[in-house]
Amino acid sequence: MKYPVWRQQLVRSLHLHRSKPEAKYFQAASVDENMLPRLRTMVFRDFLEGTHSFLAITDSRSEKVEHWKRSPETELHWYFAKSREQYRFRCKVGLVQLPQNNLADISGVLNMSEQSAKDCLLNTWERLSDSAKKSFSAPSPKSKLNTELPEDIREYGIERKGSSNDTNAPEATKDKLVVSDYFTLVVFEPYASDYLDLKTRPHTRQISNLNESHWQAQSVNP
Amino acid sequence: MKYPVWRQQLVRSLHLHRSKPEAKYFQAASVDENMLPRLRTMVFRDFLEGTHSFLAITDSRSEKVEHWKRSPETELHWYFAKSREQYRFRCKVGLVQLPQNNLADISGVLNMSEQSAKDCLLNTWERLSDSAKKSFSAPSPKSKLNTELPEDIREYGIERKGSSNDTNAPEATKDKLVVSDYFTLVVFEPYASDYLDLKTRPHTRQISNLNESHWQAQSVNP
């Protein structure tokens, strides 16, 4: 697979900042129910194999999931302090969850088979730390402190999924790897990029667009 | 003026990171003409005197100015790497420019007198470096490289504003301080904050809302 210019640059930026955990943090924007803009930090997990899509995870109870179900679009933002580079990516957003039995293409936006969505979700879960896995059994984000946990998520992992009377449970949830109902894989499929290099004088800026599976780059004024 | 909890925390975070230029960078979101979310880095210049509003500057030719004229709302995002703190602020957006003779409250959103808007714009311009001032005489952001500059902005500063036949020019533009037509002061007036501390276990999160000029804070689940 040939890398577009932006990905060659991004790979280099990530490598340059590999000692900084925050280099894997990017910001993702959404539009809320009142059509107001929102944004937050997310953690870059990897590229989806064989594609240029960015992978991240979230809790299905978070507000951004509602936003992206309504409008599956985002702009991502990445700033690298040492090399003074800003990246912006406009992307379609795909949300992949186990419980819905609607593994691939929940938002109807991704060019991704059901099997590869499922594999990717399970692989990503498997690579999480225990404490990250446990966060999906915690109370709902932004809920009041000291609220009781709902009965069915008190235990770490979703034990009931593996119960013998649940014949519809996907095979993979019956073994040790119990994936939280709330675990959501987020696939950001980019279609436009905007790169700004602030260490050059004058600053340099390059915009790219995906046209029928080809990325076309153009240098523009900063 | 009493500081709300979020500002006390932010002042401390800024102080802790005072050696890092990037600590003054935040991200600001907007909604574009297709109702899609957008975001970019901006530089925190200061608080507007006597208020909790954040000040930043931009070029009126940039896309975000169009977005905010249509929908004067944003969420700001700030991440401090050393202390592992994330701040999010939902704000009304005010755009202040000289040429329009519509100094205060261009978007009709700010509690700010015309005089204080004008003073703030001029003070902010005055404190810019020469190279920052010159960037407002450069070609339009995202325009093609090597395009001719429009006749009236070839010279640094907007000389024609000080010409003797322009009797309507504001007094302040007739002296040495020639403010670019494109220079735009952006005032972000916060009404809600969301603070997340990632170095605590479990993470701690506090949301605050402005209710009739009082900030009310509440601790919630992360």
Residues of A in contact with B73 (CB under 8 A): 36-37
Structure tokens at A59: 């809790």
Amino acid at A138: A
Pick among A89, A146, A220 to test the B interface (most B CBs inside 10 A): A220
Tell me the three state secondary structure of residue B221: coil
Per-residue pLDDT, A107: 53
Element (H, E) at B193: strand B183-197
Per-residue pLDDT, A151: 59
Q: What average pLDDT does range B71-84 have in this prediction? A: 96
CA distance A72 to chain B (A): 9
Which residues, in sequence order, are CB contacts of A63 under 8 Å at separation 6+?
A: A32, A38, A141, A142
Structure tokens at A100: 């819905």
Q: What average pLDDT does range A82-108 have in this prediction? A: 79
Distance CA A51, CA A91 (A): 13
Nearest to B124 by CA among B206, B61, B183: B183
pLDDT tens-digit map of B160-214: 344 444 455 554 444 345 888 899 999 999 999 999 999 998 899 999 999 998 9
Residues of B in contact with A139 (CB under 8 A): 221
Question: ipTM score here?
Answer: 0.87
CB within 8 Å of chain A, chain B residues 103-162: 138-145, 147
Per-residue pLDDT, B151: 59
Q: What average pLDDT does range A127-144 have in this prediction? A: 91
Distance CA A32, CA B88 (A): 15
A62 touches chain B (CB under 8 A): no
Write down the pTM of the prediction.
0.88
The percent of residues in chain B predicted with pLDDT above 70, rounded, is: 80
Nearest to A162 by CA among A150, A179, A149: A179
Give residue B137's pLDDT band: very low, low, confident or very high (50, 70, 90): confident
**Do B81 and A37 count as a contact with CB atoms less than 8 A apart?**
no
**Partner residue facing A144 (CB), from B20, B144, B220:** B220
Per-residue pLDDT, A183: 93
Q: What is the DSSP string of B26-83?
A: EEEEEE-TTS-EEEEEEE--EEPTTS--EEEEEETTSHHHHHHHHS-EEEEEEEETTT
The mean predicted confidence, pLDDT, of chain A is 85
Per-residue pLDDT, A146: 79
- Residue B88 DSSP code: E
Residues of A in contact with B144 (CB under 8 A): 218, 220-221
CA distance B143 to chain A (A): 5
